[in-house]
Structure 1
């Protein structure tokens, strides 16, 4: 008899606990903060953007380099800051450009038949893309417009915007979220140069 009573009490207690745990009460709602979910999603978006920026090779051109035993590597202090404003380019024998396209030692400046192009600052600094809107970023990546402005010049080689234009909207948003989260590096990248300005 005692065993039967014990089992009944035990089953009743379990049923009560199950019922209590599945019911939501009004005082539970304030403890759930909607922004926590948004922050988590934002963090996931930034991490996705960092992954995409890494595998797409953005540091190859947009980060100045330091040289070590294995050759050039991105400078951790100036990641994604573009061609250094104070880095002068040597004159070049432009007759070689009939057969070559040449990079400078940082891989942030490229000389070709179109002239000299410089990798942009894409950090979160205002001299980079810190003040850009999503619309600007999409226009730059999808239509190849410098600074994402409709009436601006086209982006120059080697920026492969034609390939990147095929990225999904969510991927572009993730890349922008990551770039906006980067360490701001103040660096005003020079405008493109015609060949005659670099010719030896």
Structure 2
């Protein structure tokens, strides 16, 4: 039995439409492995608390920041005995790295507080890859976060200040 030209075209277009409709979860009955990986990355970002620091205004709004603004870094500093750190713009960072570089950074690079880098390093490589694919799917947006400030250098903008541990 011959298939019509319309049926052949539809079968080629449907996977692309499903990938574009990903934010409308459940719209497509079946999705591609890449779409599933992106959805897994979105899930991990949500349950991992990545938006808490890496998305401006996320906590103050009760998580009501549009997804298109997620993970663009923040100018709120986290200041303590280690100096002052800022939550990186993960979307720009992922856009400038290969997946292999992203995995190496996430699995092996120690980071400064309050980043829970030990939790990041405990993630399975397939989950780190899903987060990377999700960041790439979101695309680069926003500016780079301010640079790290060494101990003794006061932040010029707003900062959460962590006191030195007792006895130090």
- TM-score (normalised: structure 1): 0.57
**Counterpart of 1:170?**
126
RMSD of aligned Cα (Å): 3.0
Q: By how many angstroms is 1:62 displaced?
A: 0.3
Question: 3-state SS of the aligned residue for 1:43?
Answer: helix
1:142 pairs with one of 93, 98, 107: 107
Contact kept in structure 2, 1:82 and 1:121, CA below 8 Å: yes
Residues in 2 aligned to 1:73 and 1:133: alpha-carbon distance in whole angstroms: 33
Give the 3 Å change call, closer, same or farther, for CA 133–198 of structure 1 in structure 2. Answer: same
How many pairs are equivalent? 133
Match of 1:128 in 2: 93
| Distance in 2 (alpha carbons) for counterparts of 1:111 and 1:182 | 29
| TM-score, L = length of structure 2 | 0.67
**Structure-2 residue corresponding to 1:188:** 144
Moved over 6 A (4+): none
* Partner residue, 2:160: none
Instruction: Determine which structure has more spread, i.e. the larger CA radius of gyration.
Output: 1
